[in-house]
Structure 1
Amino acid sequence: MSKTEKSCVGEDSTITNKFGDRPPCTYSMKIQSLSELKTLFSCTDGYKSRTFSSGKYNWNLVIYPNGNKKDNGTGFISMYVELDKTNLTSTVLAYLTFFIYNKKENKYLTIQDVEGKQFNAVRPVCGFPQVLPLDTFNDPKNGYVFDGDQCEFGVDVMVPLTNWELVSFSQKPSNPKFSWTVSKFSKLKDHCYVSPKFLVGGKNWVLKLYPKGYSTTYSKFLSLFLHLADGETLKAGEEIYVGTDVRILDPVGCSHVSWNMKVWYKNVKGWGCYEFASLDRLRKSYLDKEGSLKVEVEFEVVSTTKYSS
C-alpha cells in the first residue's frame, strides 16, 4: 500500500458490527506470530496479503496491526481492501465485509459497510481505519489472540453482477385471449393459414392452421399451432414458458374442442397438435351458419425475461 493513499470511508458510511458464523469469505489470512507482525509493520505501514480474485478483478487484503495513524486509526485494528488498478478503465462498485475470528466465542466479528464502495484508479483502497480497539483485540482473555500469538482476519468482496436476467411467470397476463374466425372453412385450398398477430407477454404471436393436415400423414385432421410471429427472435439461450388453452369453439353450445398446452419455446418457434380434431367432426358440428370456424387461444401463464444488456 502506498503511504500516500487513504481509504475512502466518509462520515456518511453505514457500518454494522456483529458476531456470527463465518460469512461467505473471499479471502482469509491467519497470522502465526502477531507480535512479529507488529514489529515489522509500524502505524504507517500495512501488511498486504497475496492477490485474490473477485468479480473478475484482483484484490489485496491490507491489515494494520498497530492501526493506520495516517487515517485516524491510532489505537485500533485497521483493515482495507486494495484493488489492482492495472489496466483499470472504469469505477468498480464493491460491497465489503471484514471479519476477525474470536476463538473464545468460536464466532467472527464482522464489519460491513452496507452502502458499498467505489474503487477506481485514483482511489484503489477502501476500508475501515477503526475496526476494533487494540486494547480489546490484544488482550488474550477476549479471544481474538489465541494459541499463544495467533489471529485470523478475512474479507468478503462482493462485486455486483453486470450481466443478469430476471425471469417472471405472469399468471393470467393482460389481454390473454385471442379469437380468430376462419371464413368458408370447407372451401379453403391453401396448405397453411396464418392469423393476425397478437401481443401477449411482450411477444407477438400467431396461430397457424392447416385445414387439410400438416402433411399427408394427417390429411384427415386439422393441424393447429401457436407460433412466435415473424420478426420475434429469442436471445441465445432464452426460453419462454407458455401455458395455454387452444380451442375450436362450438357455435351452438359449449362442447369446444380444447387442448391444454404447457411448453417451453426455445429451439423451436412453434408448438401445436398435428391431430387437433378430425375434419369430419369439424364439418359436422363446428361450422357456423356461414361455414366459418372459430379458433381461440387463451394464455394461462407466460414467462417474460429481462436482461441487463
Structure 2
Amino acid sequence: MGGSYSPVVPVSKIVQNWREHPPSSYSLKIHNFSQLENSTAYSDRKYQSRFFSSGGFNWRLVVYPKGNEKDNGNGFISMYVEIDNNSLMVFTPPTEVFAEIRFFVYNKKQNKYFTMQDVEVKRFNALRTVWGLPQVLSSVTNWEILSLNEKLRDPKFTWNVKNFSSLKENFYISNIFWIGGRKWVLKLYPNGESTSYGKWLSFFLHLAPKETLKADEKIYVQGYLRVLNPLGSNHSTHRLTHWQTASNQGWGWPQFVSLAAVRKVN
C-alpha cells in the first residue's frame, strides 16, 4: 500500500475517554503482547491485521508494538488505520474517503475501553492511505489480543533420509506432519536448488499442498531446521523466523549446508 504515515498529532487535537462498549468496526485480540513484539522484528516492526469492511471500504489495523520510529513513536505503541487501495480504485476517477479515527485499548482491571480519537476528520486517497496516532500508549502489559502459541503439543518432526548419496531426484518431500494446528512438509534438494546446484544442500519448510491460506491470513513461524551429523556432532542448524502468507507458503535456505561437508560423513 502507498502513502506515508502522519506526523505527530498535537496533544490538543487528541480526545481521550473511557467507555464500556467495544468498537463496532473491528477488534484485534492479543494474548501475549511480548510475543507480538518479537514477531514484528521481521516485518518492519509492525503488525498488519487482516482486512475488514467498514463504510463500504476495506481497511486494516497497523500496530507498532515498540513504536513507529519514523513518526516520533519511540517508547509508545503506535496505531494506524490503512485503507485498501483497491477500494479506492473501483471508482473513476479514484475516490477519496473521509473518516473519523478512534482507537480502543481494553483495560481488563476496569473492564472498560480506553479510547483515543483525533478530532480532525482524515482524508484517505491514493496518495495517502494511512492515518493514525504514533503515541497511543507508553506501555502495555496485559493486552488480550493476537494468539501466538509457544506450547505446541508435538513441537518436533524428524525426517530420516536414507542412502543420501544415491538420491537422484531434483527434490524430495517429507510426509505431512501436524504442528500448531496446521499441516506442514519439509522439502529437500539433495543437490541444491537453482544457483546452489552441485554445491549446497537446499532445505525448506512448506505448508502442505492442501493447507492454503486466505489472501489476508498469515502465520508466525519460529523454530529450527536441522540436518544431523550421523557422527553425533557438528549438526547444521538454522533458525527459522518469518511470517507465512498466501503469497509465500514456504521458507528456508538454498544454501543450508555444503555438499562437501555432507559427503564427508556419508
- TM (norm. structure 1) is 0.42
Instruction: Pick the structure with greater CA Rg.
Output: 1
* Higher strand fraction (1 or 2): 1
